[in-house]
Amino acid sequence: MLDLALILFILAVLALGIRRPFIWVLAYLYIDILAPQKIGWAITAAIPVSLIAFCAAFAGYLAADSKKGSRFTLRQGILVVLLCYCAWTTSHAEFAEEALVKWDWVWKALVFAIFLPLTLRTKVRIEAALLIMVLTAATIITNAGIKTVFGGGGYGTLHIYVNDNSGMYESSTLATVAIAIIPLIVWLVKFGTIFPDDWRVRLYSAALIFSCLLIPVGTEARTGLVCIAVLAILLLRDVKRRLTFIVAGAALGMMALPFLPQSYYERMSTISGHQSDESASTRVAVWKWTLDYASRNPMGGGFEIYRGNKFEFKMPVAVKDGNTTAVEYQDVIDQGRAFHSAIFEMLGEQGWPGLFLWLWLHAAGLWQMERLRHRFGRREGGPHWQGQLASALQNAQIIYLVGSLFQGIAYQPFVLMLIGLQCALWSYCKRLDSPIGKRRPGMMSAPAIEQSSNAVTAPGGALR
């Protein structure tokens, strides 16, 4: 029954795109994040729904969508260069077959991130894409939150829809994304126009934020706790009563402590030092191996190069002798361990050029969003939705970057979609502020752009 419901819903959305091709872009966002082909076991799994939506999104834009206002930004150019470089390293990868498996989804994620800003020409389109991304992620997060409340959590045991520890369903990735979208949820409540601002929207949003905060508990992902701390620090930039915010946050944290399971305390206690935890110890060893490999192979070894690592390290083991406990250090040999860090993932697979491109991509995004925050924060009549959205996207990116220090999620599709949204917002604001005398042929004036951005219900409106 679930399989049939999934395929019928996807077919209905694709049918709506015949009249408004932009809906096919939203359909791909939904499919790529949720991966319904993994949830379904018969029809949905047999039909290449992701490929169909991917092709439909591009075909709809090229054949029927308006190109007015579409701009190619610097960060899209960086993504193009990164895509080409990844293609080159894949052709020279040391683990050729394994590299092709990863390349199969990485190139689609990069291409769609390059393409997405071209379709987001108006405010309502930017909002629609953001809403679909948040609600699709909420589908997974809500399911995980309910299981956590009823005692179904645990590290590596919180199964959500599918028994697949990859993509959005990987515990640390889900915890990072869950915390990162909290600022985006708040923005949708304050400035969203697709759903009316009433008590039902606010109640659902509050419940969704609560579910997001539960994910680090349910998954017992240490990265999630770090991301919560980063979010709290970032929120201090915008709150008016910072002392009240700090005291209230500390009070809520203390109130939540009695409800946390003992396994959560034990897992979080390993944050303080990597020597006492085998997982953390192997990460440090892998990072040292990656630095050594990059010094010998500065252009990288291609996708999945981590399969070639092998190292030895000392692991402390508690030995009990009666009532006495002694700590002995034993030699441990390990190999083929994943990078567990986006930075070392880029360094090992794409070398120093790839790491530079990746850092440039994110540094440019942080700088652009900061400029928009200040530009629209100083204008009269605020707060303006542009500046607030830039702040929310910047916060989400910072949370991801901190989380990515401990996870190999350099090419995470959800984050690349957020980058596409940042590019679209930057391009939109540049058009809005462009002097009329400097407009390119066929470009709308600023009043016309603002008017079209609010065309939600008008016939042939912004979603066409």
Asked if 117 and 427 touch (Cβ cutoff 8 Å), the reply is yes
- Please report the pLDDT score of residue 446 as a whole number: 44
Tally the residues of the chain: 464
Q: Please give the residue that has the higher pLDDT: either 340 or 1.
A: 340
pLDDT band at 455 (very low <50, low <70, confident <90, very high): very low
Highest mean pLDDT of the ranges 81-85, 164-168, 239-243, 375-379: 81-85
β-strand 324-335 against 310-321: which pairing, if any?
antiparallel
- State yes or no: pLDDT of 374 exceeds 70: yes
Residue whose token pair is 């630095």 = 291
C-alpha separations of 221 from 171, 399, 460 in Å? 6, 14, 46
Reference 82, options 427, 416, 426; nearest CA is 416
Neighbouring residues of 31: CB distance < 8 A, sequence distance ≥ 6: 10, 37, 49, 50, 53
- State yes or no: pLDDT of 2 exceeds 80: no
Q: How far apart are CA 316 and CA 314, in angstroms?
A: 7
Q: Where are the beta strands (DSSP E) in 148-248?
A: none
Q: Please give the residue that has the higher pLDDT: either 454 or 140.
A: 140
> What is the pLDDT averaged over residues 24-35?
94
Average pLDDT, the chain: 83
- Listed range (91-105, 122-136, 273-287, 295-309) with the worst mean pLDDT: 273-287
Asked if 335 and 305 touch (Cβ cutoff 8 Å), the reply is no
pLDDT in tens, 150-192: 765 555 556 677 777 778 888 889 999 999 999 999 999 999 9
Highest mean pLDDT of the ranges 16-30, 333-347, 438-452: 16-30
- Please report the pLDDT score of residue 460 as a whole number: 45
Reference 224, options 133, 338, 141, 160; nearest CA is 141
pLDDT band at 451 (very low <50, low <70, confident <90, very high): very low
Reference 407, options 167, 180, 55; nearest CA is 167
Q: Please give the residue that has the higher pLDDT: either 120 or 327.
A: 120
**Inter-axis angle of helices 2-16 and 49-63, to 10 degrees?**
10
- State yes or no: pLDDT of 280 exceeds 70: no
- Please report the pLDDT score of residue 145 as a whole number: 83
Percent of the chain surpassing pLDDT 70: 80
Tokens describing residue 203? 């109640």
Q: Please give the residue that has the higher pLDDT: either 372 or 171.
A: 372
- State yes or no: pLDDT of 118 exceeds 80: yes
Return the CA Rg of the chain: 23
pLDDT band at 244 (very low <50, low <70, confident <90, very high): confident
> What is the pLDDT averaged over residues 27-32?
94
Asked if 153 and 261 touch (Cβ cutoff 8 Å), the reply is yes
- State yes or no: pLDDT of 278 exceeds 80: no
Provide the β-strand partners of residue 315: 330
Q: Please give the residue that has the higher pLDDT: either 381 or 207.
A: 207
> What is the pLDDT averaged over residues 119-123?
92
- State yes or no: pLDDT of 322 exceeds 80: no
DSSP for residue 169: G
Asked if 283 and 274 touch (Cβ cutoff 8 Å), the reply is yes
- Please report the pLDDT score of residue 116 as a whole number: 95
- State yes or no: pLDDT of 239 exceeds 90: no
Highest mean pLDDT of the ranges 253-267, 347-361, 432-446, 447-461: 347-361
pLDDT in tens, 66-112: 888 788 999 999 999 999 999 999 999 999 999 999 999 999 999 99
Q: Where are the alpha helices (DSSP H) in 92-198?
A: 96-119, 123-149, 171-180, 182-191
- Please report the pLDDT score of residue 316 as a whole number: 65
Q: How far apart are CA 306 and CA 329, in angstroms?
A: 26
pLDDT in tens, 383-442: 789 999 999 999 999 999 999 998 899 999 999 999 999 999 999 998 877 654 344 444
- Please report the pLDDT score of residue 46 as a whole number: 81
